[in-house]
A and B are shown apart, each in its own frame.
Chain A
Amino acid sequence: MDETAVAETPEVAAPSGDDWNPVERVILERRSVRKYKDRQVPENVVRRILEAGRFSPSAGNSQPWKFVVIRDREMIDEMERHVVRWCRLFRFFLDWRSSPLGRLVPWLMAQVSIRVKRNQLHPIPFGAICLIAEGKLKAFHGAPTVILILEDRRGVSRPQVDVGVCGQNMVLAAHSMGLGTCWVGFVELLKYGLKWRRKFGVEFPYRFCEAICLGYPYGRPDGMIEREVMEVDWYEDGAKRSVCQGGKDVTA
């Protein structure tokens, strides 16, 4: 093909040590927001955020998601209560530190369960289940708008990855407009019992996956923070290097 005939993508300069560009800034300053103002997000803003989701990349362009927008205070509170009830149930059977069943039985059940559900019962969500059960932590953080992302199980390859990509697109769009968001993995608990599956019409091919809560943040939660540096393997010029991302490289 004649190469001179195609339009070129202009290169954007990214000199070392330069200030972050606006997109990088939104990505790096985004923090999960867990306290919101009561004020509702305008409808057009939510629609713009959903557009960011609609144009997300997905395997085979399968777009394996369905959005459900909930802006009804009563309904969000009811979902919250459902999650709390199920967390209490899990804590009753699995938390050997507090269960009225004594120490041994819940401990054994926990040992079995965490081997079956290693990711869901990782110490962090396990701790969160207990905190939600005790009423100390909220699942939806009192946000005025919640966007459920249902996964279409017929998607190409790994639809859950597509849901993640799509959700993060919406999250970043929201933060670029001064909104706050938080991912809510605990929305998965709505699959237990018939009530919410009926209400949201969650049957094959759909299933609960993740949700994003959305609202105007209390205070100023966004900002750059410190994170662990990480080791990156780097292959170039026929050699392998180990790169310390975020820190000083040690040449071995």
Chain B
Amino acid sequence: MSLLSWRERLTIPTYDNEEYATTGRLFIDHELCNGCGVCAQICPGKAIEIRGEGREKKAYLEEVFPQCMSCNDCAAICERDAVTAAVAYDFGYYFKKLNRGEFRKPVPY
């Protein structure tokens, strides 16, 4: 069995096609998030938006094709542990991700 079929090898995906491209996805706990916005400032994909006023000010993943690269830099800087990237990006076809699974912390084997 080959890792990529010929069709996958030859099809370079366009960047914003939701049919086969998955962006990174965040899990944001709005109970913990206070909308401080640090995550949005440092996000390399500018995929986080701060919406709302006062106590309702919270972080949200951008709705239209967020350019989240699931780097978890937002999770690292968030002082309240309110955000984690829980789904990896995968653009499919030529850029299909191989041999990767779900997200885990470093394991001290």
> A225 and B105 in contact (CB under 8 A), knowing A34-B44, A131-B45, A230-B99?
yes
From residue 52 to 96 of chain B, which have CB atoms closer than 8 A to chain A? 67, 69-73, 75-77, 79, 84-86, 88-89, 91, 94-95
Interface flag for A78 (CB, 8 Å): no
Chain B residues near A218 (CB-CB < 8 A): 38
Residue numbers in A under 8 Å from B69 (CB-CB):
124
* A16-B12 contact given A34-B73, A227-B72, CB 8 Å threshold: no
CB proximity to B under 8 Å, residues A94-126: 97, 107, 110-111, 114-115, 118, 122-124, 126
Q: Nearest B residue to A233 by beta-carbon distance?
A: B99
Indicate if the CB atoms of A123 and B76 lie closer than 8 Å: no
Chain B window 37-58, contacts with chain A (Cβ cutoff 8 Å), 1 for yes, 0 for no = 0100110111000000000000
Q: Interface digits, A213-230 against B, CB 8 Å rule (1 contact, 0 not)?
A: 000001111111111111
CA distance A123 to B96 in the complex (A): 12
**Known A-B contacts A219-B77, A228-B88; A32 and B71 likewise in contact (beta carbons under 8 Å):** yes
Report yes or no: A32 in contact with B73, Cβ–Cβ below 8 A. Answer: yes
- Per-position contact with B for A62-80: 1 when CB-CB < 8 Å, else 0? 0000000000000000000
Judge whether B46 and A136 touch: CB under 8 Å. yes
Say whether A231 contacts B99, CB under 8 Å. yes
Q: Verify if A18 is at the interface (C-beta below 8 Å from B).
A: yes
Write the nearest CB–CB distance from A210 to chain B, whole angstroms.
16
Tally of B interface residues using CB under 8 Å? 41
Q: How far is the CA of A137 from the CA of B105 in the complex (A)?
A: 28
Q: Which residue of B lies closest to A34 (CB)?
A: B42
- In the bound assembly, the distance between CA atoms of A226 and B74 in angstroms comes to 11
Q: Across the interface, do A222 and B76 meet the contact criterion of CB distance under 8 Å?
A: yes
List, in ascending order, chain B residues with CB within 8 A of A131's CB: 45-46, 67
Is B12 a contact of A111 with CB atoms below 8 Å? yes
A103-160 CB contacts (< 8 Å) to partner B: 107, 110-111, 114-115, 118, 122-124, 126-128, 131, 136-137
For the complex with contacts A16-B109, A35-B38, A131-B45, 11 further pairs of A-B residues with Cβ separation under 8 Å are A19-B108, A28-B106, A33-B42, A34-B41, A124-B45, A131-B46, A226-B86, A228-B104, A229-B101, A231-B101, A244-B101
